Every structure is written in structure tokens, then in C-alpha cells.
Amino acid sequence: MPTFTASANRGRFITLEGGEGAGKSTQLRRLAESLRTRGIDVVTTREPGGSPGAEEIRGLLVTGETGRWSPVTEALLHTAARRDHLERTVWPALEAGKWVLCDRFFDSTMAYQGYGLGLGRELVETLQRAALGEFRPDLTLILDIDVEQGLRRAASRHGGEDRYERMDIGFHQRLRDGFLDIARLEPGRCAVVDADADLDGVQARVWDAVAGRLGLQS
């Protein structure tokens, strides 16, 4: 199966992860602006989605009843969307020397389906190897926030993409614990960012993590 082969001038791939209401989308936009002011060509994208085919699959995953899919089916749908996203959006941008910022990536499948829905790590890791090969983000920022506070934030948003938000509080606590466990297992790739602050405060923490890990000037 074809996979990504990095060239010397490839861009960097940064993913933002976290539970519902952690502020990933806002911080991704702010980080993109900060990088662009420093002359870096940035592409922003999201999962599930980020390519035409993956966006179609997104609609199946983030809307409808909470029990719409079995955990295995969900993981397979996410994996299919991810592979299309990589082939059509992420890998071409990186090969062109652009930096790609992605709102969620494979850690969300591990956290949501592996931990939150109880599939466990082994099956999700098998699916990820099939979709990604050895490809991994250069840096993953995990925005961490108290579960109830995050859900209050998420509830203030408008829109119909709330299927996961409507799952029970136990699911969301397992989700948070899952992200923190992922960070514990891969400290070289992951940086946990305390998202319990105002937007500017979290932005400063995000930038400190990016600058420190990827060698950028503050």
C-alpha cells in the first residue's frame, strides 16, 4: 500500500487534539495566523473531513443518534476518511513544503473509539497502521480541560454536529483519560496544554509548546 515518503524539504504536520469544548478549532486558527506572520505557508484542515470524500463520511459520524454505529463501524469509517484525507490533502501539502495544521487526527480515533467506546488500543492501532504506515505528526498538542467545563462550552455552540457531545458523562471522562494516557505513552510527540484559561492565555501556552518543540523563535 502506498504511503508517505518524506523529502528533505517537506513541511511540518501539527495536530490539535482534546475533548469536546477544549477550544481546538479556535486555537488552530490562532496558531495558523502566528505561523503565517513568520512567513510560513500554512494549510488548515480537520478530521473527520479535510477532503471531499472524507467530508461526506464526516456527515455520517457527527450527526444522528448517539448509538447510530457500533464502535467497530465508527473506527472503520474514521479510518477510511483519514486515508482519503491523507492522500488528497495532507501528504501533497507536506511534499510542497507547507505546514499542515489539523483539527483532530488519529489520536481522536484512539481516544473516542479505543478508550471512550471501549474498543481498546490493539484494534485501533491495527487500523492506524493500515491507514498511515509509519507516518506520524511532528507534534500533537492535546488541549486538556475539565470534562464538565468542556461540555458547557460545547453546548454554547450552534449547529447539528453534536452526536459525540450528547454521549454520557462517563464516555467523556474516559475520553479525557484516554488523551492523557496517549500523551503519557508518547511524550516525544505529544504536548499537553492546559486549556482552562482565556483564549489569549491558551494561545500563549500553545505557542510556547510549538516554539519549544519545533525550534521556532517566540
Q: Is the pLDDT of residue 159 over 60?
A: yes
Q: Is the pLDDT of residue 1 over 60?
A: no
Determine, yes or no, domain membership for 7. no
Lowest mean pLDDT among 21-35, 103-117, 158-172, 179-193: 158-172
Q: What pLDDT is recorded for position 161? A: 75
Neighbouring residues of 150: CB distance < 8 A, sequence distance ≥ 6: 18, 19, 20, 21, 22, 172, 195
> How many structural domains does the chain have?
1
Measured CA to CA, the distance from residue 215 to residue 211 in angstroms comes to 5
Determine, yes or no, domain membership for 86. yes
- Tell me whether residue 19 is annotated as binding: yes
The 10s digit of each residue's pLDDT in 38-80 is 999 999 999 999 999 999 999 999 899 988 999 999 999 999 9
4 band by pLDDT with thresholds 50, 70 and 90: low
Determine, yes or no, domain membership for 194. yes
Q: Is the pLDDT of residue 211 over 90?
A: yes
Q: Is the pLDDT of residue 155 over 90?
A: no
- Tell me whether residue 201 is annotated as binding: no
- Tell me whether residue 150 is annotated as binding: no
- Tell me whether residue 24 is annotated as binding: yes
Q: What pLDDT is recorded for position 151? A: 87
- Tell me whether residue 20 is annotated as binding: yes
Q: What is the mean pLDDT of residues 17-40?
A: 95
190 band by pLDDT with thresholds 50, 70 and 90: very high
- CATH assignment of the domain containing 47: 3.40.50.300
- Tell me whether residue 74 is annotated as binding: no
Determine, yes or no, domain membership for 191. yes
The closest alpha carbon to 91, from 136, 126, 147, belongs to 136
Q: What pLDDT is recorded for position 154? A: 81
Q: Which amino acid is at 113?
A: Q
- Tell me whether residue 21 is annotated as binding: yes
The 10s digit of each residue's pLDDT in 119-149 is 999 999 999 999 999 999 999 999 999 998 9
Determine, yes or no, domain membership for 5. no
Domain assignment of residue 89, given as a range: 13-214
The closest alpha carbon to 152, from 22, 18, 16, belongs to 22
Determine, yes or no, domain membership for 131. yes
**Residue 200: burial class (beta carbons within 10 Å; 0-12, 13-18, 19+):** exposed
Determine, yes or no, domain membership for 18. yes
Determine, yes or no, domain membership for 3. no
Q: What is the mean pLDDT of residues 2-26?
A: 85
Q: Quick count: other Cβ atoms within 10 Å of Cβ 211?
A: 13
- Tell me whether residue 18 is annotated as binding: yes
